[in-house]
Structure formats: structure tokens, C-alpha cells
Structure 1
Amino acid sequence: MGDTDPDEPRESLESMWSSLLGFADRYAELGYGPLAAKLRAGGPPPPRVQHTPVIVDTDIGGDPDDAVALTCAARTLPELALVLTTDENGGGRARFARHLLDLHGRHDVPVVAGADLGNTRYYVVDGLTPDDVPAQPTDVLDAVRTVCASTDRHVRWVGMGPLTNLSAVLREAPELVDRLVVTQMGGAINYRDPARAEHNFRLDPDAARAVVATAADLLLVLSDVTFTEQIAISTESDTYRLLAAEGAPEWARLLRTHLDRWFTAFYPSSMQHDPLALATALQLPFVDFTRRRIALAPDARMSLDPEGHFAWVTTQADYPAFRSWLTEQLAY
């Protein structure tokens, strides 16, 4: 091993990938051709984005996993810079997000009410937001531009609902395409109901198709990985008991009430799709992903397609490690 200079700048992963690909190409005739092909097919590694601003785009107010994810972000991410709501319900989702952030002392994080798709079914937080919480602003593009202007680095976009807001930003501000590193909960290669697309994609198929075709750095946290009782919260889970414990803080009591309403109205558990998407966006080590070419049908059903668009997609997760992480984020 040769001498090293501790003051020499560390080579980036992107640079190392490029150097290795160049080496494999130069010596392809010596047997490195397959390595070059694999490197080129896999593409460069995702950019390093630790400590860069975070935008959360959420349909909070339905399945409580959004509220749990926003709680994790509010409590542990000083980089949380903006919360957008999508699939709005008359501004109620944005007001609820504002209330939850305020309970965590995150008055510094603006909330903007985004696209309203006219859906009202998955909304269980009626009456949980105090009347004195005002309606939130509605200019999504201006808010996103403000975050991007605050840094010369990438900005992390964590999508937890339909892709309507993101599609509009990429369409109306193409200069931001290369600035946003997108992690989106949504899509499925082997969806449990093959007759339709995954929930977040099917609520706005055109937006999903536009994002897959346009986003420069896109990582999809697929339902194939997130739809499992191994990461569900129910009344029997330790996480629920923590939130329901005597003396729990107000934010925990709010989450517990939100969960109870969901259990009564829809399902006896809440799979934590969106906290897992947040963990993936934070590049935590218990989520694996790979680069694939994907295509979306007109209704946004997803398939692998050698002529499709490149995207990173999740392949598996260490569920016990994720559950431990989630419990740590919610401890008080």
C-alpha cells in the first residue's frame, strides 16, 4: 500500500465509478468487458445528499403513516425545510401538518397546501386541528424555488403521496430538474392487485408518468417492499403502546388518536410505507435498491422494460432494523 495524504480531498463515489468504468472499457479485450457492461447498466451511484435541505410532499391525514413519517422528520432532521400537501381536502391536510409541526416546535418549517385531486375518502383527521390554525399558503412552486435558492447543493424531495405537486414543479421549473434528488413512495412491479396501479401512482397517473420520464435522480420505494405487516403499527405493537402510554406528550396523543380513527374506519393496522421512504431518502443502511428500466402504462401500472426510463427501485429492506430505528425516532 502506498503513502496517503490525509489532507488530500476524498474522491467522490461518482468519480470512483467513472474511473472504474474507464478502466474496464480500456481493458475490455483483456476480460473486463462484462464489468464495463454491468457498470454502465447500473449507472452512477446516487448523489451524496446528507445534510442537504429536505422537502416532504405528503397526503397526511389519511393513513397515519404520513403523520408518523412527518413526526420522525420534525424531531430528527434540522434540514427539514418545507412541507407540501398533496391530494388536499380543502386545505385540511395542510392545517393538520402545520399543527403537528407546531407541536414539535418546528415553527421554522413552512407548510404549503398543494394539489387538490377531489378525493375525500381517505381523510380521518376531521376536528383534530385547532380552529386557530390558519389556512396555509398555496404557492407550491414559489416555496420550492425558495428552498432551492437557499443552497448550491442538491435538495432532497421525499414524496409520500400522489406525484401531482412534483410533476408540476418539474414541468413549470425545468431548471430545478437537476437540483432535486427525489425519493418517492409509490409504484410496484408486482402489485397485489394486477388490475390496477399502486395507490400513489393511480391517483394521478399522468403525474406519475411525467415524473418517471423527467426526474433526473429518482428512487422509487416500491409497494413490493413496503406492503408488509412486518412494519405495521396496530394496537398490539410496541410503537402504539409507546404513543398511548400515560403521560405521553401531546404530539404522541395526537398520533394515537389518528391511528385509532384509521383502525375504526379502514384497517386494523397501518403499514409504515412513508417512514420507510423517509429512511430510504436519508440513505440509511437497511434499505437496498438497484437501477432498473421501468415503463408505466396509461393507468400508471409499472413494469420492467428494456426500453423504459432508468430509475432506482427498492428491492428489499431489513425490517427489524427499520422497526428499531422507527422506535428510536418516536421515543420521548
Structure 2
Amino acid sequence: MTNVYLTARFPRIAFTKLETNGFTVDYYTGRDLISHSKLLRKVAKADFLITTLSTVVDSEIIDAAPNLKLIANFGAGFNNIDTEYAKSKGILVTNTPKVSTNSVCELTIGLMLALSHREVEGDQMMRKDGFPGWSPLYFLGHEIAGKELGIVGLGNIGSELAVKANALGMKASYFKPHQLSEDEEKAQNVTYKPFDELVKTSDFISINAPLTDENHHQFNAEVFDNMKDSAFLINVGRGPIVDEAALLKALKANKIAGAALDVYENEPVFDKKFTKLKNVILTPHIGNATVEARDAMAEIVADNVIWSSKGKEPKYVVNK
């Protein structure tokens, strides 16, 4: 028998595909995250591991699974896995890029609109106190058309976000370590700016980059000091890219106009002081939490297990 262990409940399509292809499937049934100690026990007989990006798969976990052939990560990121150690053991690691692109972009646009039109603040006010009635200067926000969106990280998600932003009348600029060619920039209707310049000129900044050693706390107190006091920060990338303590201070001091966070520095733990601020929107890491995106991700991880079991190279290997 070939054993597959899943570290969480996944969309049904993953189970159906695996069971149809003769795999013995076991999975973690808890609603919280699986503990490291429990995963150590569960992977002992696993030939294949399908894991969420919130579950750490370190060298200890890998060593506890002597039969492991593939780690299929359910998410575009993979910094939760010791990919180099897996490679040294001959274990492939895959992820699920691209299929969550549209979902994350839609959430980002929604957060921009909600911040600029003060939608969450208005909803909370209506639920608590109601409002005194319409008047010309009451509860004003801003339109996003004509504003500059600075995109930090122009991969699949950042590129699609630029398309959607342009369609809404925004100007899209971007920063990434390697600038696109002039033809690529024209095709995507984006303008490259060095990071320091992008920070100073953007009305909205969306973080869409993967986490690296270089961009840990890239958004710190100095960056917030250099942003427009009317600017909004949106993080749908990775939590540790933002120094949350510095962000909290900047928001309290009105150094920037507001922020929307879908990812957190130490998630699922986050600083509850953010909940006291009216100019902050907090969402529980739901960037790709749509039926469409999650089903597509489930298909990828299941297919990768199936192909790998047949001696074929799976898609989206990240540690060749």
C-alpha cells in the first residue's frame, strides 16, 4: 500500500483523486493546526506528504519519514519547508502557484476599496450607533481612480494586480529585485521604481512578494516615515515582510492613513492592538480562500502525488 498523509482537511477533490488511484489516505481532523509532535508520529509511514503552508516541515519531520518521496505544499509559498534538506534526502518539494492569482488580486482590490471608502469603519458604526443622516461633508473617503498603486513583488499575482488596477484607472508602479525589460513593462503597463522612490510616491502599496532573507522587515519604521501620510499599506504577501510593531506605531501616530493585513508576522498570533484602530482592516489569511482557487490547488497536490508515484516528475518542483 502507498500511504499519503494530509496535515489538514482539504477539498474533497483531493481525496477523491487519491482514493480512486489506490492510495491509502490519512489526514489530520482537528480544526486547529497540527502540532509538530503529532506530525512526527503521523509521517512515520507516509510515502507522500501533503501539507498546508502553515505547517512547518523541518529536518526532524523529514527524518521521521524514511519512505517519503514527495512533499506537496498546498500554497504558493514554501518557506515552511526545509527544501534544501529535503533535496539532500532525494525528496521533491512542490507548491501550487498561479491558480490562486485571481483570488488574491480580487481580495487586494477589495481591501483597497474598503480602506479608501471607509467601508468597514462605516459598517461598524452603523451596527453600533447608526448615523445622523446624509450631509455633504460627512464620512468622506477617496476614490482609487487616478491614484498610484505601488506593487512590491511582480510575480504572477503582482502582474495580474497591475492589470486589474489599470482597469480601474489606477497607475501601477512596481519594485522587484530584477527590473523587467522595457517591452515587458509596456505590455503590462507598469513603471519600475526603486524601492525608496516607490514608497514615497505611492498612494497604495501592495506587498505581493515571497519571504526572503533580504526582505524580512523590509517595511520598517523608516519606510513608514517616508510614505505619504495619506497612503495605505496592504499586505497579502508574507507577514514577516512587515515589522508589525513599527506599523502599529506608525498608524497610531498617523504617519500613514491606514493598513489592511491578510497575513501576519507570527500567525495565527497577531497583536490585538490593531483591533482598536479604525483605519485597519484585518482578515484571516484568506487571499486564496475561494472554492475555485482551493479546488484548483487540491487538484495540483493530488496530481503531483499521482505522477510522482508513477515515476513522472510532478509540476512546480521548487527544490531541483
Q: Same fold (TM over 0.5)?
A: no
Normalising by structure 1, we get a TM-score of: 0.28
